[in-house]
Amino acid sequence: MKQKIGLTTGILLILTWCLLPVAWIISLSFKSQEAITNGSPGFFPSPGGTAGFANYSDVLADEQFRRAIINSIGISLIATTLSVLIATLAAYAIARLEFQGKKFVLTTALVIAMFPVVSLVGPLFDLWRTIGIYDTWPGLIIPYMSFTLPLAIWTLSAFFREIPWEMEQAAQVDGATSWQAFRKVIVPLAAPGVFTAAILTFFFAWNDFVFGISLTSTEAARPIPAALSFFVGADPFNRPASLLAAAAVVATIPIVIIVLLFQRKIVAGLTSGAVKG
């Protein structure tokens, strides 16, 4: 009984920890901008300082922010797709093939995972403006791919190692063509891993800030985190806290949806193969 109380308390603590700041940002997004300018302390909007959904409609009416959403979704999706594709090839080789340089690949991936991105943005900015992809989608997609590859390769090779590849041969013996064997046997087994790697990669690209502010300068490519930090409200001298909060909530919705749908897979991806033995 005592243990049960302790456990329940623990669960409540975890839920509070995780959700209180989220609740706060939602609550803040309902404070009116006038109340913010004038100062409106407290967790909940004051009775006279409630904005309803005005902040949301303002944010969604903001052309720059709408562009940022499109940029973020487009760039993150393309980077994720390409990164997972390339990582799948590499992870397959690492998990199933013997070849020279395997160690080099894994070392490179590890070093890049630890790389301080800030030390790259200067030269990268220089390089990008020389070859003309500064402030474009490819200008962000390429670094996102590079920096998500390690994560994707490690996750995928961990998954691929668990796949019983002999089943493919077994299926072929049973009369399936090699394509059928691959599609009916291997794809279903590999899909969860690919999927998990894709989600984690997407999270990374969605979250990135350093590249986002350094390699863009207009809404042609500026992603959401950069747009948030440059957000302009009615009052250029005060951060439009409640508008920003509304924008932040909007930017978090895709994350919440992904988490709700795939929480099991994400946890598996983060932990499976993270630690062996």
Partner 1 sequence: MQARQGPGRRRLVAALATLACGSALLTACGGGDSGKPTLNWYINPDGQDTLTMLAEQCSTDEYDIAIQLLPASATDQRTQLARRLAAGDTSTDLMSLDPVFVAEFANAGWLEPFTGDRAEAVLDDDVLAGAADTVVWEDEVVAAPQWANTQVLWYRKSLAEAAGLDIGPDSPVTWSQVIDAAASQDGATVGVQANRYEAYVVWINSLIAGAGGAIIEDTEAGRDAEVTIDSEAGQAAAAVIQQLADSGATQPDFTTSNEGTSLGRMFPDDGGPGEFMNNWTFVYKNYESTVGAVGGPADEQELEDLGWARYPQTVEGEESRPPIGGIDIGVGAYSENLDYAQDAAVCVTSPEAQSALAVTDGLMPSRNSVYDSPELQEAYPADLLDLYRQSIETGAPRPKSAFYSQISSAVQSVWHSPTSVSPDSTPQESADFLRQVLSGEALL
Partner 2 sequence: MSTVTAPREGGTRKQGRKETPEVSDRLKAENNLGRKLVAPAIVLMLLVTAFPMARALYLSLFSYTLTAPDDREFVGLGNYLTALTDSLFWTTTLNTVMIMVVTVFVELVIGFAFAMVMHRVVFARGVIRTSILIPYGIITVVSGFAWQFAFSNTNGFVNSWLPFVADDFNWFAQYETSIIAIMVSEIWKTTPFMSLLLLAGLAQVSEDMLEAAKVDGATWFQRLFKVILPNMRAAIMVAVLFRALDAYRIFDNIFVMTAGANGTESISFLTYRQVIEQFQLGIGSALSVLLFLSVLIVAFVIVKVFRVDLSNARQG
For partner 1, which residue of 235, 256, 264, 270 counts as binding (CB under 8 A)? 235
Task: Using alpha carbons, select from 117, 58, 3, 114 the residue that is nearest to residue 246.
Answer: 58
Contact between 73 and partner 1 by CB under 8 A: the answer reads: no
Q: Does 8 bind partner 1 (CB under 8 A)?
A: no
DSSP assignment string, 56-119: HHHHHH-HHHHHHHHHHHHHHHHHHHHHHHHHHHHHHHHHH---TTHHHHHHHHHHHHH--THH
Residue 251 beta carbon to partner 2: minimum distance, rounded to whole angstroms: 6
Nearest residue (CB) to partner 2, 93 versus 176: 93
241 binds, among partner 1, partner 2, none (CB under 5 to 8 A by kind): partner 2
86, interface contact from partner 2, partner 1, none, CB < 5-8 Å by kind: partner 2
Write the interaction track for partner 1 spanning residues 108-147; mark x where CB under 8 A is met and - where it is not: -----------------x--xx----xxxxx---------
Per partner kind, with CB cut-offs from 5 to 8 A, the member of partner 1, partner 2, none near residue 182 is none
Calculate the CA 236 to chain-centre distance: 30
Minimum distance from residue 145 beta carbon to partner 1 (Å)? 16
Considering the rule CB under 8 A, would residue 25 count as an interface residue with partner 2?
Answer: yes
Q: Which is nearer to partner 2, 52 or 164 (CB)?
A: 164
CA torsion 113-116-244-59 (nearest 10°) is -60
Measured CA to CA in angstroms, residue 212 lies from 65, 67, 135, 140, 222 at distances of 14, 14, 9, 7, 6
Vertex 253 angle, CA 204 and 61, to 5°: 110
Task: Pick the closest to residue 37 from 212, 233, 248, 223 (CA basis).
Answer: 233
Residue 276 binding target from partner 2, partner 1, none, CB below 5 to 8 Å by type: partner 2
**Using CB under 8 A as the criterion, which residues of the chain lie in contact with partner 1 when the complex forms?**
32-35, 37-39, 48-49, 58, 61-64, 74, 125, 128-129, 134-138, 217-220, 230-238
